[in-house]
Amino acid sequence: MEKSLSDMSLEELWELFPIILKEHNPIWKDWYLQEEKLLKHIISNQYIERINHIGSTSVNGLLAKPTIDILLEITENCYLKFLVRVLEENGYIFEKQPHKPSPHMMFMKGYTENGFAEKVFHLHIRYKGNWDELYFRDYLREHKDIAEKYAQLKLSLRDKYQHDRDGYTEAKADFVEKYSKIAKESISH
């Protein structure tokens, strides 16, 4: 009998869900739009401040893990237990973030005991704010040369961190932070 995802160690999960990079696929935008529609339907617009497609799949032409990242900013009066329940009822797995205060919540969809499903989503939930992910996304969309540098960085890290998602993310952090800061500064001037 196969282990359930909740019974697997972090190492087992990383083995089952390696870092995979793919050329940009225009269908990713459609997957995002379908999921956005679902989220608005199941959560209700009264609890949604803003919803955005973020991450590399949101940048045309950018090499990416084929995972649709969504930033869902909720209202202050959104009942968090309701939110968790309704998302879990619709196929999301709640990944607790003990080092980040509520409502910095993370949900995943498309992870199975046999590996990735065709469509994979990461849903990041926060209160409305000034989030670096939006600045970084917009900067990459406007600066194709920097997007290409980012793609090259990801390629250079793929093999070393194939089974270490945290290491992969950490190895990209300086690049992401640098260009998020540049993006914020360019808007404030």
Q: How many residues does the chain have?
A: 189
Domains of the chain, residue spans: 5-96+121-188
Under 8 Å between Cβ of 109 and 92: yes
Residue, of 166 and 26, whose pLDDT is higher? 26
Dig out the tokens for 135 from the structure.
Answer: 């600045």
* pLDDT per residue as tens digits for the range 127-156: 999 899 999 999 999 999 999 999 999 999
Beta bridge partners of 70: 53, 123
Task: Kindly write down the DSSP assignment for every residue of 54-90, as one continuous string.
Answer: ESGGGSTT--B-S-EEEEEEE-TT--HHHHHHHHHHT
- Name the band, by pLDDT with cuts 50, 70 and 90, for residue 189: low
Q: What is the pLDDT of residue 174?
A: 98
In CATH, what is the architecture of 5-96+121-188? Answer: 2-Layer Sandwich (3.30)
